[in-house]
Structure formats: structure tokens, C-alpha cells
Amino acid sequence: MEMSPEEKFKEISPADFFYRNRDIAGFSNPVRALYTAVRELVENSLDACEARGILPDIVLFLTIEGQASSERNVVRIKITDNGGGIPPEHIPNAFGKILFGSKYTLIQSRGTFGLGGKMAYLYGQITTNNPLEITVGYRKKIYFFKIMIDIKKNEPIVLEREEKNNSKKWNGTIVSFTLEGDYFRAFPKILEYIKLSALVAPYANITLIDAYGRLIRFSRSTVQMPNPPKETLPHPHGVDVEMVKRLAEENRKRTLISFLTRSFHRVGKETSSRILGQLNLSPDTVVGELGLDEIVRLTQALKNYDGFLPPDASILSPIGEALLKEGIKKELEPEVLAVESRKPQAYSGHPFIVEVGIAYGGRITPPEDGNAII
Amino acid sequence: MEMSPEEKFKEISPADFFYRNRDIAGFSNPVRALYTAVRELVENSLDACEARGILPDIVLFLTIEGQASSERNVVRIKITDNGGGIPPEHIPNAFGKILFGSKYTLIQSRGTFGLGGKMAYLYGQITTNNPLEITVGYRKKIYFFKIMIDIKKNEPIVLEREEKNNSKKWNGTIVSFTLEGDYFRAFPKILEYIKLSALVAPYANITLIDAYGRLIRFSRSTVQMPNPPKETLPHPHGVDVEMVKRLAEENRKRTLISFLTRSFHRVGKETSSRILGQLNLSPDTVVGELGLDEIVRLTQALKNYDGFLPPDASILSPIGEALLKEGIKKELEPEVLAVESRKPQAYSGHPFIVEVGIAYGGRITPPEDGNAII
């Protein structure tokens, strides 16, 4: 049989991939797109403050700038925070390059895929083609950028750049851009999300100014904040061959025993010796001399060894019972309230803590049919 | 307040992104990982044959090569097809570089994200660290490659490359690699998936050789195939600013009227004139002279214009009622059978056809509680 003409092979950029598959990140329809965009940005702002132990002051403006169709508005989202800002040399990439960011480390943060707000900016650009405007207060200067994304190349295009003196010593970030969304159907969901955020972050001021100019304010009721999360070493139950290979490359000159105790969380000298013994490897072997086969065996041994302690929860930043109680009281003023923090657990070497609050009465809206469902 | 030490900014490769977020593509646990891997590979093989109008002959081998833990086996997946193969210069990238492939065109194919089998190979590598083995019969030669993926760089590493004469004129692809999976819990799902594939592709031979060496064969019952799908122009209801910008860049020298009628599906001369009239644009304006504002207005007009015909269904490759009937009869031998193809519809400019078969009795397994649920 005659073959048909050649298939066309080509490479696309990460920005192009997410442009084609925007639904992966929640941009599947005009309601969800607007909701997801607001959510990504509020979470970025909260993270920017909390990572530095700053009490968050976040202001979110939503404006309707036009009508794209009967169901789609051109909505401007503007959000300001008082986090630490971003070093100016990183601003273009941090906002205009997919897969570039500060969240690719082993540290707890919000957000799902580490794409941050970039999917929101990308979606805004492909639906309205306006540039993203960014103002950053960082140390002695205030920087202003207008940026678009070259989607085919996955590169930021800087249209404007200005700087001036930061005479008021303001630190923070202001982001403003437009996207197509269904404002009226998304708004109740956005409001609910912000209310829940205020509930779990009672130390934050979050202000929403809606498209009618109404100001809705969720005020902080405490200046207590949870301890910021710490960056951590990988727990041996969560490793894979690729990770152990990377760590081994970075530690070629160490002995195996020092590699195991310094590169992994919760691996002590005694356990290391035991595991190495089982694998017939000497503790004094230099990591750079390991063959791939030995790295595979070492990975399997780390994953399957029963005796490790679970990951230390100090790398997490739980709200804690007191703050959770505070947040629920403040937002819901319930008649009955109980909160509970479980002990830290781990799944595949990743620690997590379940924190629960249960409340009844007060300002909690009763369910529509009058029956509380538990 | 003193700022904490710098955040660490970095860029990661697409391979690294999917390594970190493998659950996006279905690699979330040992059962699902094995099932998803098999599914991606079988769909690739079917696509490779159907795109060229070749009756598929697909053989899938599953072998257990070891025990990684109590729930995880090291499973080898080997799949052979008689599709057209791949030009040798593209083999390393087609198998070892994420976001490189032949599916980034507007043509119907299986699969979800256009990542193809690459997530499966990536997952295989990070869990077992064995190379991927590929044998391709393409024109006068047979090519053999051993490949691994440099995940940090998103580049293939070619460990071995051989070629020999294709004396038997065999065209096709054989892929073989190992991954960690839960063979025993995944197997029933794999079998069910292959059975359903055989049902909707009654022109395919699909043979499964399981880990016990049992041969399960789904034989073709017809040599009739659906017409292969055609590559198409974008329908105006499915465009966005980015797409119109790209098309405009490729057609800078055309007049607007020729641009609209040649670059979009279902846009004729009369409609074009009407839309351009509404926008106060002359049909003879050269595309390269359009400003971004005009491109945005043009995009909105194309998206919102009511008068376009829905996308032509010839760009789809529906099974058709006769073949669907054939497939269900062959696999289920039901007592009662009805099939129905609806008329083509479109969602956001993307055409689709609903094809349904309903059957009762024969070899259809009754539901466990004895009640048929409809």
C-alpha cells in the first residue's frame, strides 16, 4: 500500500501547549475561566505575603470593560498585595514565561500545578489581546512593566518598562489585565471563594471592589500568623529513580553514608548503615562511583524500607486550632463550633495535616430545603 | 519588616513539569499508571494505522519482570503495529522529547493531551530507569534505537542506534519498555479497554499476550475502514485572538477577503464581505496592514457571527452505523441491537458526531444484582 504524505512533526513551546490545552488548568468556559483566574491571583498574593511572614493586605478590583458576546464580558482583574515584590530582573519571566517561577521547590504553597497566575494571563491575552500591567515595589524602587507573552516562543515581550523611587517604601505587587469571562455567573462563586479564604486566613485583610463599585471587606481579626513553611529535603518514601539520580549528581563527591543522611529527610546514620548493608554497598563508597543499577536498587530500598519516621510536620504551615476557630467565628458567628487538628500523616513521603472545623447556626446560610446535611 | 532571603526563581523543562505533575496525565497510582500507559500506546498504534488507511494488526505483550514492592510489579509493555513507521530523523524526538510530535495539527486523532505515549515512557524511566527500545520499519530500512529522556533538558539520549535492510518490506513500529504498575489490579481494566477498542474498530486485529503467556485475540470481522480524517481549517466559531494573529502573520500579503475565505473553514465570499462591511474594513486591505485592534475586532466578529454553516463533518472519521453494528455483533453477539449516528454538531467551532449502539442479551455480562440499568 502506498503511504500517504509525510506526517508533520513539530515541537511546540510550553506556552503553546497550555494555549492548546487551557482546560487542563481550569479555563474551560467563561464562568470557570474568570473564577479560576481570580483564585490563582488571590492565592499568589496570599503566598507572597505568608512566605515572608507579612500580614496580608489584598485588594481585588473587578471591572467590566466591555461585552464580548451575550455571555462573555471583557473583565479587568486588578489585584494589589503587600508581599515582598519580585526582583526586577525576574519580573518579565515570572509573568510572561510558562514553567518559570519561584514555586519549583519542595515548599508548601497554594495552587495546583505551579503554573501560578500565568495561565490566567495567557487566557486573558488570547481572549482580549491586552497587555498585562505589573507594578512592583521592591526595596528602593517601584517598577512598572507592560508585558505580553510570545506564545509560540514562550517568551515575555516587554512593551514598556519604567522605574521610580520608592519614597514611601512600599513593598508589594499590583497586577492588572483583562480576560473574557461570564462576570454575572462567576461573581457568586468568587465571593464564596474569598469568604472561605478569609475564614482560613483570619490574619488577612481582603477587600473586593465589584463591577458596580461596591466595596466588600473581609477584615483581619488577629495579627497572629501561622509559622511560614520551610523548604525541606525529600522524604525517602517519596523518591523515584530520577530524583535520586539528580541528588547523586549534586553530591558526587560525598560518601554514601553522608549522602543518605544529608540529602534525605528523616534518614539517620543507623538506618543508612542498615540499608547499605542490605544492598552490599560500603558506607564509604563515593556517590560518583555508583552505577545506574545501584541507583535503581538504592531507590527501591529507600521506598520500601519500613523503619523511617514519617515526615516532620514542621515543614508544613498548618493554620492551627486557635486561628481556625478565630476565622470561623469572625466570618460565621456560629452558635456551636468545634475545631480539630489531626496529627500529621504522610502519603508517598509527602506530609499533610487534616484541619477541620464544624459549626452550626449564626450567620451560616441554612440549606435551601431546610435540612442540614452532614 | 525585614524580608526573608530571596525566593529562588528557576525555569524547568516541559519534561520536568510533567515529571513533577505526572498525575495530570493519569499517572497517579500503580493501577492507573499501567492502564493509562497501555491505553496511550494502543491508541497511538491504532492512529498510526488508520491515518494511512492501513488495516491495523496490533500485538500487545505484557510481562512481569520483577517485584518492586508488595503492590508494584516491574511490568514490560511491548507493542507492535503495522502502521507506516516514523522517518528515522524524527525517532529520537518523537519518543524522547515532550511537546514534540505529529499530533499538533487540526486533525482528528485519539488521545487526550497530545502527549502521546511520552508520559508513559517518562513514567517508565523514573520508576525503573530502563531505556526505551524502538524498532521501526520505514521504507527500505529497519531502524533500532535505545533511548532515554534527559528530563532536566527535555532531550532524548540515544544510547544505541542500528539499521539494517528491510528485506521483507515491513512497515511499522515496535515499542518496548518497563514501568512500575500494579499488574493484577490493572489487568481486568486493560482487558475491558481492549475489548471496547475492538468493538469500535471491527477492522482491527488486536492480540494481547498476558503475563502468563495466554494469547487473547480480537480478530477483525471486516476489511472495511472508515475514511481517514482530513486536516482542516479552523472554523470561525472556534478561533481566538492568538489564532487569528498567527494566521494573519502567515498571510500578510493577502487581501482581507482572500484571507477570510482561504484561512477559515465555512467562510465564503458573501459572508466575508458582510462581516468586513460591519467592521468598516475594506475587502482589499492587505492583511499585513491590520493593527492589533483590528485583529481583535475581526476575531470577535468571527466568533459572534450567526450565519456560518456548522463545520463540515468530512473532517471527522466517524465509524458509521454499519461498522459500529459489525463491531458490537462480533464482540457481544447480542439478541437485540440498534445503532444510530446523529447528525454532526459543533461546539465552539469543533465538530463532533454522536454514534450510539444499544444491545441486549447474548454475550453481554448481566449486571451483578441482576437488574439492567438504562
CATH code, B29: 3.30.565.10
Of A184, A218, A252, the domain-final residue:
A218
In a domain, A253, yes or no: yes
Looking at the fold, whether A332 and A196 belong to one and the same domain comes out as no
Closest partner residue to A8 (CB to CB) among B3, B7, B105 is: B105
Closest partner residue to A242 (CB to CB) among B12, B19, B228 is: B19
Please give the ipTM for the structure prediction.
0.81
In a domain, A1, yes or no: no
Interface touch A90/B296, C-beta < 8 Å: no
**Which pLDDT does position B2 carry in this prediction?**
37
As separate numbers, helices (DSSP H) first and strands (DSSP E) second, chain B gives 10, 14
Owning domain of residue A253: 236-304
**Phi and psi angles of residue B363, each rounded to the nearest 5 degrees, phi first:** -90, 15
**Phi and psi angles of residue A347, each rounded to the nearest 5 degrees, phi first:** -125, 120
In a domain, A224, yes or no: no
User: From B91, which residue of chain A is nearest by alpha-carbon distance?
Assistant: A9
Looking at the fold, whether A170 and A241 belong to one and the same domain comes out as no
Of A157, A185, A218, the domain-final residue:
A218
C-alpha cell at B237: 466559531
Chain A nearest CA to B13, separation (Å): 7
In a domain, A73, yes or no: yes
Looking at the fold, whether B31 and B98 belong to one and the same domain comes out as yes
Looking at the fold, whether A291 and A317 belong to one and the same domain comes out as no
Q: What is the CATH number of the domain that holds B248?
A: 1.10.8.50
**Which pLDDT does position A217 carry in this prediction?**
96
Residue A195: alpha-carbon gap to chain centroid: 19
Residue A260 has pLDDT above 80, yes or no: yes
User: To which H or E segment does residue A322 belong?
Assistant: helix A321-332
Looking at the fold, whether A36 and A155 belong to one and the same domain comes out as yes
Disruptive mutation site among A126, A247, A294 for chain B (greatest number of B CBs within 10 Å): A126
* Residue A247 banded pLDDT, cuts 50, 70, 90: very high
Chain B nearest CA to A328, separation (Å): 28
**Phi and psi angles of residue B39, each rounded to the nearest 5 degrees, phi first:** -60, -45
Looking at the fold, whether A95 and A207 belong to one and the same domain comes out as yes
Give the mean pLDDT of chain A: 88
What are the chain B neighbours of A55 within 8 Å (beta carbons)? none
**Which pLDDT does position B238 carry in this prediction?**
86
**Which pLDDT does position A319 carry in this prediction?**
87
> Other CB atoms closer than 10 Å to residue A163's CB: what's the count?
14
* DSSP code at position B309: P
What are the chain A neighbours of B87 within 8 Å (beta carbons)? 6, 9
CA distance B287 to B270: 18
CA distance B21 to B13: 12
Q: Give how far Cα B209 sits from Cα of B59, B97, B177, B200, B216, Å.
A: 8, 29, 15, 21, 6
In a domain, A367, yes or no: no
Interface touch A125/B151, C-beta < 8 Å: no
Residue A1 has pLDDT above 70, yes or no: no
Residue A195 has pLDDT above 90, yes or no: yes
Looking at the fold, whether A133 and A106 belong to one and the same domain comes out as yes
| Highest mean pLDDT of the ranges A19-23, A143-147, B370-374 | A143-147
Q: What does each of the 374 residues of chain B score in pLDDT, given as a tens digit?
A: 334 445 677 888 888 888 888 887 788 899 999 999 999 999 999 988 988 899 999 999 999 998 888 888 999 999 999 998 999 999 999 999 988 877 666 555 665 556 768 899 999 999 998 999 999 999 999 999 999 999 999 999 999 999 999 999 999 999 999 999 999 999 999 999 999 999 999 999 999 999 999 999 999 999 999 887 777 788 898 888 889 999 999 999 999 999 999 999 889 999 999 999 999 999 999 999 999 889 989 998 998 898 888 887 777 888 889 999 999 999 899 999 999 988 888 777 778 889 999 998 888 877 666 665 54
Handedness of CA A256, A262, A267, A271 (dihedral sign): positive
Per the CB < 8 A criterion, the answer to whether B348 and B238 are in contact is yes
Of B160, B192, B218, the domain-final residue:
B218
Per the CB < 8 A criterion, the answer to whether B310 and B351 are in contact is yes
CB pairs under 8 A between A and B: 147
Total of domains in chain B: 3
Looking at the fold, whether A138 and A81 belong to one and the same domain comes out as yes
In a domain, A337, yes or no: yes
CA distance A110 to A121: 18
Residue A188 has pLDDT above 70, yes or no: yes
> Other CB atoms closer than 10 Å to residue B99's CB: what's the count?
22
Looking at the fold, whether A103 and A173 belong to one and the same domain comes out as yes
Per the CB < 8 A criterion, the answer to whether A19 and A121 are in contact is no
Looking at the fold, whether B71 and B134 belong to one and the same domain comes out as yes
Looking at the fold, whether A331 and A279 belong to one and the same domain comes out as no
In a domain, B7, yes or no: no
User: From A48, which residue of chain B is nearest by alpha-carbon distance?
Assistant: B7
Residue A6 has pLDDT above 60, yes or no: no
Chain B nearest CA to A3, separation (Å): 6
Looking at the fold, whether A212 and A246 belong to one and the same domain comes out as no
In a domain, B41, yes or no: yes
